Amino acid sequence: MKKSLLSGFSIGLLLFGVVSSANADVLTFDDTSYQGTYWGDLDAGYGGFNWSNNFDVYYGPGISSAYDAGTVSGDYAAFNSYGVDVSVASGTFDWTGAWFNDPHNNTLLSISGLAGGVELYSTDLQLSYASPIWFQADWIGIDTIAFNVVESDWFTMDDFTFNESQSVAEPTTLTLLGLGLTFLGFSKRKKTA
């Protein structure tokens, strides 16, 4: 009984992990409507988000090697044109993280995660010229991310990784839980019979 309970629990955890990780989405910025060789506006609603003005998309090889370094996957990434502060908002979501780069010099990037106008998370990232770094946010239950730069500097962002916030158990999780309980019930019944 203990072995079947342990194996059933292990299988359930494995399946739960597979289902949970399958929900993550990655925005690479390679599939926007802008497919030029310099830079252009980021699509309104790209990836289901509201991107503030001056949150644009660029073609790395077309601008400079420093911008090209910021394109971690593919040839396109997002950046704050004109060196202004920008933000991204949506319904409640969880932000896993993203790659960041400074295409001009070394700058300090302040990032805040908000929910209903209240700051829940904040961090300062020291960016290095043409050297992308991964920021592992793991921010849960936010609706806005604000990006603030020092002295009107630029930053690039690629592989914006997120998932919709799971405030209640999703149907797949409930189904797996039900199947696991059914399995345990049958295995217990079989042992007593």
pLDDT tens digits for 65-78?
Answer: 999 999 999 999 99
Total Cβ atoms within 10 A of residue 127:
25
7-21, 77-91, 176-190: segment of lowest average pLDDT: 7-21
Long-range contacts formed by 188-191: CB under 8 A, 24+ apart: 188/1, 191/1
pLDDT attached to residue 169: 44
Q: Take residue 175 and report the two structure tokens written for it.
A: 């189904």
Task: Express each pLDDT in 152-182 by its tens digit.
Answer: 899 999 999 999 876 444 444 444 445 454 5
Angle between helices 2-21 and 171-192 (to 10 degrees): 170
Residue 85 has pLDDT above 80, yes or no: yes
Written as one letter, the residue type at 108 is L
pTM of the model: 0.75
Strands 156-164 and 107-115, how do they pair? unpaired
List helix spans (H) across the chain: 2-21, 60-63, 65-69, 171-192
Residue found under tokens 């370094």? 69
State the pLDDT at residue 100.
Answer: 98
Across the range 22-31, mean pLDDT stands at 89
pLDDT band at 185 (very low <50, low <70, confident <90, very high): low
pLDDT higher than threshold 70 for residue 27: yes
